[in-house]
A and B are shown apart, each in its own frame.
Chain A
Amino acid sequence: MTKILTPTAEHDVAARDGLWMSPAAAEKVTGWTLKPEGMCRAEACVPLPASAVGTSEVDVAAFWTKLGGPVIASDQRDVWALGAPADERNAALEGLEAPDFTLPDVNGVPRTLSQLRGKKVFLATWASW
């Protein structure tokens, strides 16, 4: 199994030669679906070069690079990190809708920012270091 770290999740998928995997696995990892037009999500499709699509597989590393996101592999290529594309981050922030997130509290209970809709929220970071 190959471990893939995305900005919000961690996946274990069957992959070979880097990040060649089944369309189902690709969808689970990226949220994008393989269609004849390319990789699609909602109304958007990103065309893929023929070299990134096989008979029953797709090259997620090639797709993610086309999307503009960083693809970083560990030395043994057993763990990969797919980073959010800079353009996606900028567009989300420029929209001024506070990007939603879920993080555990100190006792492990998951909390989601959007649960607080209706309240003014002071969102602040800190660290022990």
Chain B
Amino acid sequence: MWQELYAELKDKNFMVVAVAEESRGADHARPWIDQAKSDYWQLIDTEHRLEDLYNLVNVPQAIWIDGQGRIVRPPETAGSTDHFRRMDLKTRTMAPKDQEERLAARQAYLEAVRAWVTTGKHALAATAARATLPKVTPEIAEAWARFRLGVWLRAQGRTAEGDRQMAEASRLHPDSWSMWRQAADLDEVGKASGADFWKRVQALGDRPYYPPPKL
């Protein structure tokens, strides 16, 4: 997904780290990784540890980190847009105008990464970066403990109990699409983008599924 960008910038002290939030494990993610033909890091996060650590709620999200290891752009949507919400569900296609806008938004995001790597543009000062950080609440912290337990129980074949913990995690952290969709996917591949997913997306109303980055 990021190989073209990486190939172009890798001689400029730049690295891409792509993390697969995949509780089904490496073998389940492998076909996508093989297809990407990438030479950056492709990591596997079966327990969604990165999401817990960085307070993430959906994929794809990205964090920009400078050479000193400092966060210069907190988690934000990485190039995806809400145009998919208007697609024709029967044919799974988008109107040409939506397709164009979607592609343009992705190009603009890639262009912003390019500008950051080459000129430092778009890196936020500390106060601005802090201001955009979403807060971890005690409910979110409990949700991650339950999610972790749920993934473990499911992996041991304690399916019903694992599902119950994951459902409780989703109830405590309703903003996390990752928790809900991962649980749905563990239940059955495809369920994460099935009828219940679309119902949840529709229930957002005017709220975004992928909040656009403020670049």
Contact = CB atoms under 8 A, between A and B. Distances in A.
Given A85-B141, A105-B41, A125 B64 contact: no
A106 B42 contact: yes
A98 interface: yes
Interface of A: 3, 5, 7-8, 10, 68-72, 74-75, 79-86, 89-90, 92-94, 96-99, 101, 103-108, 111, 113-114, 116-129
Contacts of B153: 74, 79
A74 B145 CA distance: 11
Main secondary structure of the interface of A (DSSP, over half): mixed
Interface residues of B, number: 81
A76 B130 CA distance: 41
A101 B52 CA distance: 11
Contacts of A82: 145
A99 B17 contact: no
Contact of B152 (A79, A101, A117): A79
Contacts, number: 220
B14 A122 contact: yes
B14 A119 contact: yes
Contact of B33 (A85, A103, A106, A108): A106
A108 B12 CA distance: 28
A106 B30 CA distance: 7
B148 A5 contact: yes
A70 B148 CA distance: 12
A125 B50 contact: yes
A83 B43 contact: no
Given A83-B144, A85-B141, A96-B129, A103 B62 contact: no
Given A119-B14, A122-B113, A128-B29, A79 B149 contact: yes
19 contacts: A7-B52, A8-B49, A69-B145, A75-B161, A81-B148, A82-B145, A84-B52, A90-B136, A94-B130, A104-B44, A116-B17, A117-B68, A122-B2, A125-B56, A125-B62, A126-B18, A126-B20, A128-B24, A129-B181
A106 B65 contact: no
B212 interface: no
Given A94-B133, A120-B66, A123-B62, A128 B22 contact: yes
A71 B144 CA distance: 11
B71 A98 contact: yes
A96 B131 CA distance: 11
Interface in B19-36: 19-22, 24, 26, 28-30, 32-33
